[in-house]
């Protein structure tokens, strides 16, 4: 039995969502696959170029190669512990495979947390509502990271293009007006947890930073209307506005600005997606030739579609 849990691209509102503002994000057709088979031993295996983890639950032996592997392992183990506490015991072999390296800002940690819990439930033969899955996935992120909004885990669990209100949690889903998004992966400088802490520290030093966060909240509301109306020119322009506001929070590097300038003829707009300081840049492409322009970059790039279904057994 294999579960697919989608990665998540943040279109509007990251960072401000940590302070209660709404945000808009989309589940995409690349993410994490979790295979679960019942067995007399409980084992987790995960691997694919960037990360390698092997864990034997009974022998309590874990092998994670590199810092990335260790981080990844903590999400898997926390997800298994929460699944066991909520759903009951299970002995199974879990195998994980991700499309993106962890920590690039494509919500691999959220997709892993959600995917492991969904696979655990499926292997055990119990049902799990999407909203409940979102909640359990968020608990994993909170335990491992200390602080996280419910956005990434909710979008991976539920799927589609969503506007999230973080607390009390609620969401609205619409049919996406765009067919595809383009992603460019820039080298990442820092972990989400540390970047979120830096923004928090900046906010505590300057009252005016609240005005930037409020402005991001307003961009989200306006962008939601543009998305509902299918006005991609408006969506793209507001992505750029959101990106400059994120720049004011200190999370957008010169490399992003240069990239957006270079790709301008091919896109309605673009911005960082997620915590920033490198990582994923999301672009709203205008027309097909963007593939050639992306190939010229010499960076990892992806054309992705929005995944409407969220985490599910394949
Ligand atoms: C990370 O994907 C997005 C942030 O807003 C943090 C969060 O929502 O927890 C930067």
Query: What are the residue ranges spanned by the domains of the chain?
Result: 2-174, 181-304
Decide: 148 in ligand 1 pocket, CB within 6 A.
Answer: yes
Ligand 1: which atom is nearest the Cα of residue 275?
10
pLDDT computed for residue 44 by the predictor: 64
Report the pLDDT value the prediction gives residue 64, as an integer from 0 to 100.
59
Mutating to test ligand 1, I would choose from 12, 17, 166, 278 the residue with most ligand atoms within 8 A of its C-beta, which is 17
* Cβ of residue 151 lying under 6 Å from some atom of ligand 1: yes
Q: Calculate the alpha carbon distances from 268 to 6, 141, 164, 229, 239 in Å.
A: 24, 33, 23, 15, 9
Q: What is the pLDDT of residue 50?
A: 45
**Cβ atoms of 217 and 250 closer than 8 Å:** no
For ligand 1, whether the C-beta of 16 sits within 6 Å is no
Nearest by Cα to 303 from 179, 195, 152 = 179
Residue 50: alpha-carbon gap to chain centroid:
18
User: Residue 96: what pLDDT?
Assistant: 85
Ligand 1 contact, 25 CB (< 6 A): no
Q: Could you report the per-residue pLDDT of 245-275, keeping only the tens digit for each?
A: 999 999 999 999 999 999 999 999 999 999 9
Sequence-separated contacts (24+) of 294-297 with Cβ below 8 Å = 294/182, 294/184, 294/263, 297/184, 297/259
Place of tokens 């720049």: 247
CA 190 to ligand 1 centroid distance, Å: 13
Q: What is the pLDDT along the chain (314 residues), one digit of tens a residue?
A: 999 999 999 999 999 999 999 999 999 999 999 989 888 766 666 654 345 555 666 665 656 555 666 667 888 889 988 998 999 988 888 888 888 876 777 888 999 999 999 999 999 999 999 999 999 999 999 999 888 899 999 999 999 999 999 999 999 999 999 989 999 999 988 888 899 999 999 999 999 999 999 999 999 999 999 999 999 999 999 999 999 999 999 999 999 999 999 999 999 999 999 999 999 999 999 976 798 999 999 999 999 999 999 999 99
In this structure, the number of other CB atoms found within 10 A of the CB of residue 20 comes to: 12
Residue nearest atom 10 in ligand 1 by C-alpha distance: 275
pLDDT value at residue 112: 93
Residue 87: CB atoms within 10 Å: 16
**Residue with the two structure tokens 């609240």:** 210
Q: Domain spanning 2-174 has what CATH number? A: 3.30.230.10
pTM equals: 0.93
Q: Could you give the strand order of the β-sheet that contains 180-186, starting from the edge strand earlier in sequence?
A: 267-272, 279-285, 180-186, 301-305
Atom of ligand 1 nearest to the CA of 166: 8
pLDDT value, residue 60: 57
Q: List residues with catalytic annotation.
A: 152
* Token representation of residue 167: 């607390």
Judging by DSSP bridges, how do beta strands 2-12 and 312-313 pair with one another?
A: antiparallel
CATH of region 181-304, choose from 3.30.70.890, 3.40.50.720, 3.90.1300.10, 3.40.50.300: 3.30.70.890
């Amino acid at each position: 039995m294999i579960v697919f849990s989608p990665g998540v691209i943040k279109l509007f509102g990251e960072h401000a969502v940590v302070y209660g503002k709404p945000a808009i994000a989309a589940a995409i057709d690349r993410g994490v696959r979790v295979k679960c088979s019942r067995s007399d031993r409980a084992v987790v295996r995960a691997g694919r170029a960037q990360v390698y983890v092997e864990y034997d639950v009974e022998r309590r032996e874990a092998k994670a190669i590199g810092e990335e592997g260790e981080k990844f392992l903590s999400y898997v183990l926390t997800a298994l512990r929460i699944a066991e506490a909520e759903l009951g015991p299970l002995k199974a072999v879990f195998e994980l495979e991700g499309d993106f390296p962890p920590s690039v800002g494509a919500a691999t940690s959220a997709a892993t947390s959600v995917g492991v819990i969904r696979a655990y439930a499926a292997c055990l033969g119990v049902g799990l509502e999407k909203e409940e899955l979102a909640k359990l996935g968020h608990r994993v992120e909170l335990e491992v990271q200390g602080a996280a909004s419910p956005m990434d885990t909710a979008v991976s669990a539920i799927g589609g293009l969503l506007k999230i209100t973080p607390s009390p949690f609620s969401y609205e889903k619409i049919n996406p007006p765009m067919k595809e998004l383009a992603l460019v992966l820039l080298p990442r400088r820092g972990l989400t947890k540390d970047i979120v802490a830096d923004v928090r520290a900046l906010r505590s030093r300057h009252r005016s930073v609240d005005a930037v966060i409020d402005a991001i909240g307003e961009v989200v509301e306006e962008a939601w209307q543009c998305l509902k109306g299918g006005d991609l020119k408006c969506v793209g322009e507001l992505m750029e506005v959101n990106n400059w506001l994120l720049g004011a929070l200190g999370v957008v590097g010169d490399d992003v600005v240069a990239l957006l300038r270079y790709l301008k003829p091919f896109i309605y707009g673009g911005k960082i997606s997620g915590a920033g300081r490198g990582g994923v840049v999301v672009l709203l492409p205008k027309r097909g030739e963007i593939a050639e322009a992306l190939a010229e970059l010499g960076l990892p790039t992806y054309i992705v579609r929005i995944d409407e279904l969220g985490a599910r057994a394949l």
